[in-house]
Structure 1
Amino acid sequence: MRQKIRPRHPEKIKNPINPIKKKPDWIRSKLNNSREFFLTKSIVNKNNLVTVCQEANCPNITECWSKRHATFMIMGDTCTRACAFCDVKTGKPEKLDKLEPIKISQAVKKLDLKHVVITSVDRDDLDDGGSNHFYEVINQIRKTNPNTTIEVLTPDFLRKGDAYKKVLEANPDVFNHNIETVPSLYLKVRPGSRYFASLELLKNAKKMNKKVFTKSGIMVGLGETRDEILQVMDDLKSADVDFLTIGQYLQPSVKHFPLDRYYKPEEFKELGDIAKAKGFLLVSSSPLTRSSYHADEDFSKLQQNRLKNY
């Protein structure tokens, strides 16, 4: 008897679970393959470093790398969590690279960075969540690059007790932890995280080190309401957060959380104006805004303005 061949399911191919909406003109980034872009790429590759620019498929990579700006992602390229919005791979991470602090400090020097952003994957497998590794990286950068300001974008160190304090002991200039989205979407978008735990981390960071600037960011376009965004702003202000970034969520693939809609540039301007009116010291709000996007320029402007008003 001839075996029946089961037909494929074209409907699953033609209609993926979460179709990706076409990007509007204002969301498209400009390609700029300049000499500096390839220089940055070469330095990153030669030192076997990981950048969030590559791992998270950032839309601003060509612009930033053309300016020799790169956001380093420490502790590997594999995250222990599986946030529905993120393009970083999930799985069992490898052991920490003890030479990574030196490699990053040397890369910062070669790129001649005046301001560097250091982020990481979540490392729930480590007892301290990787806080001591952050400490080592910050200290090594300071030794090699004493005039470079340092911004860290950390995980939430959920259920790691006071582990976050080790990061602050190294005295970064900016302590950033992204709130990412509104409370009503947390279980779907950030199932491994807790909204109020993230707020508490930011609040405690400022309490422990009042000299450090605290920062957080939110994505829009996931299905949140305007009132919910404004409530997040108020919650962050209550936690004494200094800087705020607001950017458009871009769905990485059909397997990721579905994009609800694209916000228009004028909507970002309105949200940015509201945030400034609420008292945030620095606000970046645009379709392509990301945590580290123009972070060096924004921080430099803040320092210059403070010197003028001193």
Structure 2
Amino acid sequence: DISDGGAAHIAETIRHLKEKKPELLVECLTPDFRGDLAAVATVASSGLDVYAHNVETVRELQRKARDPRANIDQSLSVLRHAKAVQPSLLTKTSIMLGLGETDEQVISTMKEIRDAGVDCLTLGQYMQPTKRHLKVEEYVTPEKFQQWERVGKELGFVYTASGPLVRSSYKAGEFFLKNLLQQRKVDDRA
């Protein structure tokens, strides 16, 4: 409804947070801004620490799972652009599993995400929120989630969280991300 998709408001909120408490680490889960890269740049240059935007699912299931106005190429473009605008920014995305994806599709999507320069990846179990939403095709085993975490590490993600209850805002990564960001700030000062 807002011409910039709310980017200016998000950026201003981040700036106010950082003014009040500069050491506060800010992660923002953003929309794709309908592909408006100027809106992405507004948020990416606002002083936040982690720019998050979710690809949601594997390439082959995008049409089934996402609003037709969104797609993986647009999502990857958003994440690439955020990193190009602010190279020190951590970028993060998430994939829901259990929608009928194959192992090959998950690996291919993880590679695409990494090739886009994304730093952090979370993988979690899709849960059907209402009967009107897509049904769960598979409950992914804890062992399979562990496998995806290993694959993420092998592909070079700075951090991969993978488990049935993991969500894009998964708390287990906060300690790691906080330490990583603090180390980067120390390195930048040196």
TM-score by length of 2: 0.91
Which whole-Å deviations, capped at 9, do the CAs of 1:120-146 have from their partners, x for residues lacking one? xxxxx1110110011111011112222
Q: CA deviation at 1:188?
A: 1.7
1:206 matched to 2:83 = yes
3-state SS in 2 of match to 1:201: helix
3-state SS in 1 of match to 2:34: coil
1:43-54 aligned at under 5 Å gives the runs none
Contact preservation (8 Å) 2:29, 2:53? yes
Identity between Structure 1 and Structure 2 (%) = 38
3-state SS in 2 of match to 1:158: helix
Contact preservation (8 Å) 1:282, 1:302? no
Separation in 2 of the partners of 1:308 and 1:172?
17
Pick aligned residue for 1:162 from 9, 15, 38: 38
Cα distance change, pair 161–170 in 1 and its aligned pair in 2 (3 A)? closer
1:144 matched to 2:20 = yes
Q: In proportion to residue count, which structure has more helix?
A: 2
Unmatched 5+ stretches in structure 2: none
Cα distance change, pair 159–282 in 1 and its aligned pair in 2 (3 A)? closer
The residue aligned with 1:83 is none
The residue aligned with 1:293 is 170
Separation in 2 of the partners of 1:133 and 1:194?
24
Which whole-Å deviations, capped at 9, do the CAs of 1:134-178 have from their partners, x for residues lacking one? 111101111222211111110001143421111012121111111
Cα distance change, pair 153–237 in 1 and its aligned pair in 2 (3 A)? same
Separation in 1 of the partners of 2:89 and 2:118?
10
- One-letter amino acid of the counterpart of residue 158, structure 2: L
- One-letter amino acid of the counterpart of residue 157, structure 1: F
The residue aligned with 1:221 is 98
Cα distance change, pair 238–136 in 1 and its aligned pair in 2 (3 A)? same
Q: CA deviation at 1:297?
A: 2.1
Pick aligned residue for 1:258 from 135, 140, 150: 135
Pick aligned residue for 1:184 from 60, 66, 73: 60
More deviation in 210-219 or 158-167?
A: 158-167
- One-letter amino acid of the counterpart of residue 207, structure 1: A
Contact preservation (8 Å) 2:25, 2:178? no
Unmatched 5+ stretches in structure 1: 1-124
Which whole-Å deviations, capped at 9, do the CAs of 1:167-215 have from their partners, x for residues lacking one? 0121211111111101211112112312101111111111111010111
Separation in 2 of the partners of 1:159 and 1:279?
26
Contact preservation (8 Å) 1:127, 1:160? no
Separation in 2 of the partners of 1:302 and 1:292?
17
Count of residue correspondences: 186
- One-letter amino acid of the counterpart of residue 147, structure 1: E
Taking only aligned residues, the RMSD between alpha carbons, in angstroms, comes to: 2.0
Which whole-Å deviations, capped at 9, do the CAs of 1:63-106 have from their partners, x for residues lacking one? xxxxxxxxxxxxxxxxxxxxxxxxxxxxxxxxxxxxxxxxxxxx
- One-letter amino acid of the counterpart of residue 165, structure 2: L
3-state SS in 2 of match to 1:254: coil
Separation in 2 of the partners of 1:151 and 1:305?
17
Which whole-Å deviations, capped at 9, do the CAs of 1:29-85 have from their partners, x for residues lacking one? xxxxxxxxxxxxxxxxxxxxxxxxxxxxxxxxxxxxxxxxxxxxxxxxxxxxxxxxx
Q: CA deviation at 1:304?
A: 6.9
TM-score by length of 1: 0.57
3-state SS in 2 of match to 1:163: helix
The residue aligned with 2:49 is 173
3-state SS in 1 of match to 2:51: strand
The residue aligned with 1:195 is 72
- One-letter amino acid of the counterpart of residue 192, structure 1: R
